[in-house]
Structure 1
Amino acid sequence: MSGLLTPIAGESKKRVCYFFDSDVGGFHYGPGHPMKPTRIRMCHSLVMNYGLYKKMEIFRAKPANKREMSQFHTDEYVEFLSKITPSNMNNFVKEQLKYNVGDDCPVFDGLFEYCSISAGGSMEGAARLSRNKCDIAVNWAGGLHHAKKGEASGFCYVNDIVLGILELLRHVLPPYHKRVLYIDIDCHHGDGVEEAFYTTDRVMTVSFHKYGEYFPGTGELRDLGIGKGKFYSCNFPLRDGITDESYKSVFEPVITQVMQSYDPSAVVLQCGTDSLSGDKLGCLNLSMRGHANCVKFVKSFGLPLLLLGGGGYTMRNVSRCWAYETGLAAGVELGSEIPVNEYYEYFGPDYKLDVRQSNMEDMNTREYLERIKGIVMDNVRKVGGPPSVQMTDIPRTADDYVDDNADEDMDDPNERIPMRQRQKMIQPDMELSDSEDEGEGGRRNHQSNKSAGKAPASGNTPEIEIPTSNLLASNSQATRSPHTATTAVSSETVPSPTEAAAPADEAEKNGAAAMEVDTTK
């Protein structure tokens, strides 16, 4: 095992909390759909078999409930998601049109549970960062950046990123996060997050993405925010085929300037992997290490960091990249030889932990990148000083006073929240497919209903409540308690390196393997 992990020289040790729910890999968008939640389970298999469980704490977050989702999304939309199923969807024809649920965002079995798991992990990660229980939180099931306040979009139903950022902003205990920086390196523009915070200076959004006749059609250079949010939305439009060197030449200077001008107290990094070379729906040309350099660079600033997933439609590359970036978060370099795991055959024929650049043409000329970089950095320099935030104490509920070091004997046996009582979690196996011809079409060349290059009109921009003491006084009960809402997962959950998974159809007949839960933490 020692050859699989190499400590990174000069790296200070970081406390890393990693969130994974074994159920997430069992959801299925439908035949031919490019979004495959199984990629998260594949990544977790690499994480465990590389031995990264020794370098961090692993938790299973409490799924987000309807009340928590409604901190951003409308009550009607959340209620719709909780009710609709494939068997009753014909009763919700009008609602499906209203909430944009259908083709790209299909109705599938367990839809609401899937959204709950994704949002719960991001909210728990944010809560632990705010409570100073970790330095870096990781939730690869999150990063669904297209979901809007009242509709689904681009394979995304619930915007876990916005919910996580709100959790950082609203927390009642030190350290207070007066301002949060959101960085998006997905191939697609992070329109849902930008739109949510378009009118505030409490959150700055920075997105590097392919722009043009490409989903979602937003993220123009001139989209800067409005009102108090003017200059707090930053977009760097890219052309096809950008390489590691070119990406680094614009990413690092822009982020450095943002850090200097904005001075955030926490960072949320969306690590969509459809910007990798060879992605089914992406059109950029980053290698695994080029993509991971963004994580390494943002980590170097030493701020509380929430790492989230996002796009990525070639499963073997997605899992490789996120496993490698999990290692970087924990301060170790993963070995190039992939260890034996349940999905070992997916990584053939070389079985290496690497995603290489292709020979596709880079349409991003040096002159183009320098010109855009100059404009972006000039706009960033116009960012004002820290926003005025009333930091008086906020009324709290009993959940806010939970002792994170409490003994399990103190748990209320009549309370549903303590997760120590759940001894085993069933991990179902579902259809696995990563064929070359599956998932074509999808979002690649679709434009959104929102006009490209046009900033949201102030009258149509959804207003979301940025937490201050007066706002939180009425709904502070939604603040998450990371102690009562998570399950610590034992290192005993590591699959034996010699185990190989049975085919999905055989696994369904024989039953799914159980995941052991550590009852000592």
Structure 2
Amino acid sequence: MNGKEVIYIYNETLCSECDRNPRIAGRATQVHELIRAYGLLDKMTVHPSRPAYDEEINTFHSSSYIDFLKEINSSSDLEVHEDEAEQFGLNYDCPLVERLYDFVKAIAGSSISGAEAIVGGKAKVAINWFGGWHHAQRDQADGYCYVNDIVLAIHKLRQKYKKILYIDLDAHHGDGVENAFAFSPSVLTFSLHKYEPCFYPGTGNVKDVGYGQGRYYSVNIPLADGLRDFLFSYVFDSVMLKIWKTFNPEVIVVQCGADGLSGDPTNAFNLTLQGFAKCVKTILSWNLPTMFLGGGGYNHPNVARCWTYLTSLIVEQEIKSSIPDHEYFMDYGPDFELDILPGCRKDNNSKESLDSIIQCVSDNLDYIG
């Protein structure tokens, strides 16, 4: 991909706001600094983000949720709002934080900025590792996600494109995005995720296919513990080929949550950089306008490794395996290498079980072809 066609969403305010998310505190800066250390910022256009406008956030999120976020934004005593906050999901996974609406506007605006650039013809590919918060629902925060920037970006893309493909590589089901477009034949959502008892959010069965005119436009690949690169790539390529033939998208949005990597505290899958890279290479081969977003991932050095490597693939710049010296260098020990090795754990998925899921999905996609 020509570097002039690729934009990288960034400014200091966005990065510092993203760092305030208590569940990934400091991660945004660590990712950005590794990308900078490898010299990749020179291979693409750094595109400043802007805060989202109220009316843009309101294209998905309810007025009552937005009004509450605005009400508490300047509060000096968040504890007095805790009872009301619970009805908006602002507890446990999504605790109240200071200036919460400023944070929401920054995250929402980052992905909207990328979508605007694509719609306006200023970029072929937009990278926004600060976005990708796929669990937030219309009227509540959920799963560490205070705003669904993905849905807001897709609404912006719909100003120009009639057929949008959303791909979710996170270890968790992309429930918020799927729910937002479950009735729409204009947006096909595709999520590969761990689906087992007691694993959040507990949705995303292969039989969950959407509703009404959107029936069969929700595609789910439920997976078991320990997934490795080979079967990850196998199921991805098999389903993507069918989606390409039946849906024929005009633009793609990809959530690259890195919590499926080996060594992540989520302990879901056993993937390496090469598993994600194979998917991204397939997507890039289609040569369509594309947004790449971040998402989950709680081993911060590994997330930085993953998104830096994917950035290098997008701008077609080879990078060395040795981590370059920079502020966070010591976090990459003991080997100080870019690569991530798989762990010694069993893959509870089998080709036979996945073939059954692929066949089911293929049969469903025939209805839209």
Deviation of 1:45 (Å): 0.7
Aligned counterpart for 1:28 among listed residues 20, 30, 42: 20
- What is the alpha-carbon distance in structure 2 between the residues aligned to residue 345 and residue 169 of structure 1? 44
Deviation of 1:50 (Å): 1.0
Letter in 2 for 1:198: A
Aligned counterpart for 1:241 among listed residues 211, 216, 226: 226
Hey, what does 1:483 align to over in structure 2? none
Hey, what does 1:80 align to over in structure 2? 68
Aligned counterpart for 2:33 among listed residues 45, 57, 72: 45
Hey, what does 2:141 align to over in structure 1? 152
**SS of corresponding position for 1:129:** helix
**SS of corresponding position for 2:158:** helix
Letter in 2 for 1:229: G
**SS of corresponding position for 2:133:** coil
Hey, what does 1:194 align to over in structure 2? 178
Of stretches 64-73 and 301-310 in structure 1, the one that deviates more from structure 2 is 64-73
Deviation of 1:18 (Å): 0.2
- What is the alpha-carbon distance in structure 2 between the residues aligned to residue 138 and residue 13 of structure 1? 12
**SS of corresponding position for 2:297:** coil
Matched, 1:359 2:347: no
Of stretches 193-202 and 323-332 in structure 1, the one that deviates more from structure 2 is 323-332
Q: Which has the higher helix share?
A: 2
Letter in 1 for 2:208: D
Hey, what does 1:18 align to over in structure 2? 8
Aligned sequence identity (%)? 40
Letter in 2 for 1:192: G
Kept in 1, the 8 Å contact 2:226–2:345? The answer is yes
Deviation of 1:93 (Å): 3.4
Aligned counterpart for 2:57 among listed residues 69, 79, 84: 69
Of stretches 15-24 and 254-263 in structure 1, the one that deviates more from structure 2 is 15-24
Deviation of 1:97 (Å): 1.8
Kept in 2, the 8 Å contact 1:14–1:136? The answer is no
Deviation of 1:14 (Å): 6.2
Deviation of 1:37 (Å): 4.1
Kept in 2, the 8 Å contact 1:144–1:161? The answer is yes
Deviation of 1:185 (Å): 0.5
Hey, what does 1:230 align to over in structure 2? 215
The residue correspondences of 1:315-464 to structure 2 (distance < 5 A) are 315-384=300-369
Deviation of 1:13 (Å): 6.0
Going from structure 1 to structure 2, the CA distance change for 1:16 and 1:278 (only over 3 Å counts) comes to same
Deviation of 1:43 (Å): 1.2
Deviation of 1:95 (Å): 2.1
Deviations 1:368-397 (A, max 9, x none): 11111111122122214xxxxxxxxxxxxx
Kept in 2, the 8 Å contact 1:21–1:117? The answer is no
Matched, 1:265 2:250: yes
Q: Which has the higher contact order (CA 8 A, sep 6+)?
A: 1
Hey, what does 1:403 align to over in structure 2? none
- What is the alpha-carbon distance in structure 1 between the residues aligned to residue 11 and residue 292 of structure 2? 16
Hey, what does 1:106 align to over in structure 2? 95
**SS of corresponding position for 2:337:** coil
Count how many residue pairs are aligned between Structure 1 and Structure 2. Answer: 365
Deviation of 1:209 (Å): 0.2
- What is the alpha-carbon distance in structure 1 between the residues aligned to residue 25 and residue 188 of structure 2? 29
- What is the alpha-carbon distance in structure 2 between the residues aligned to residue 99 and residue 308 of structure 1? 25
Kept in 1, the 8 Å contact 2:16–2:29? The answer is yes
Kept in 2, the 8 Å contact 1:119–1:163? The answer is yes
- What is the alpha-carbon distance in structure 2 between the residues aligned to residue 330 and residue 37 of structure 1? 28
**SS of corresponding position for 2:335:** coil
**SS of corresponding position for 1:340:** coil
Letter in 1 for 2:195: Y
Kept in 1, the 8 Å contact 2:260–2:266? The answer is no
Letter in 2 for 1:108: V
Deviations 1:318-356 (A, max 9, x none): 011001111111112221011111111111111111112
- What is the alpha-carbon distance in structure 1 between the residues aligned to residue 154 and residue 51 of structure 2? 17
Aligned counterpart for 1:184 among listed residues 158, 161, 168: 168
- What is the alpha-carbon distance in structure 2 between the residues aligned to residue 198 and residue 149 of structure 1? 13
Deviation of 1:289 (Å): 1.7
Going from structure 1 to structure 2, the CA distance change for 1:299 and 1:121 (only over 3 Å counts) comes to same
Matched, 1:206 2:190: yes
- What is the alpha-carbon distance in structure 1 between the residues aligned to residue 79 and residue 324 of structure 2? 46
Report the TM-score, using the length of structure 2 for normalisation: 0.95
**SS of corresponding position for 2:283:** helix
Unaligned runs of 5+ residues in structure 1 are: 1-10, 171-175, 385-521
- What is the alpha-carbon distance in structure 2 between the residues aligned to residue 82 and residue 91 of structure 1? 15
Deviation of 1:12 (Å): 6.1
Of structures 1 and 2, the larger Rg is shown by: 1
Hey, what does 2:297 align to over in structure 1? 312
Going from structure 1 to structure 2, the CA distance change for 1:229 and 1:14 (only over 3 Å counts) comes to farther
Report the TM-score, using the length of structure 1 for normalisation: 0.68
**SS of corresponding position for 1:275:** coil
- What is the alpha-carbon distance in structure 2 between the residues aligned to residue 13 and residue 145 of structure 1? 28
Deviations 1:239-285 (A, max 9, x none): 00011011111101111110111011000000000011111114101
Deviations 1:11-45 (A, max 9, x none): 66661000123233464344xxxx21421211111
**SS of corresponding position for 1:353:** coil
Deviation of 1:111 (Å): 2.2
Unaligned runs of 5+ residues in structure 2 are: none
Kept in 1, the 8 Å contact 2:110–2:128? The answer is yes
Letter in 2 for 1:372: I
The residue correspondences of 1:269-280 to structure 2 (distance < 5 A) are 269-280=254-265
Deviations 1:399-424 (A, max 9, x none): xxxxxxxxxxxxxxxxxxxxxxxxxx
Of stretches 316-325 and 41-50 in structure 1, the one that deviates more from structure 2 is 41-50
Letter in 2 for 1:274: D
**SS of corresponding position for 1:294:** helix
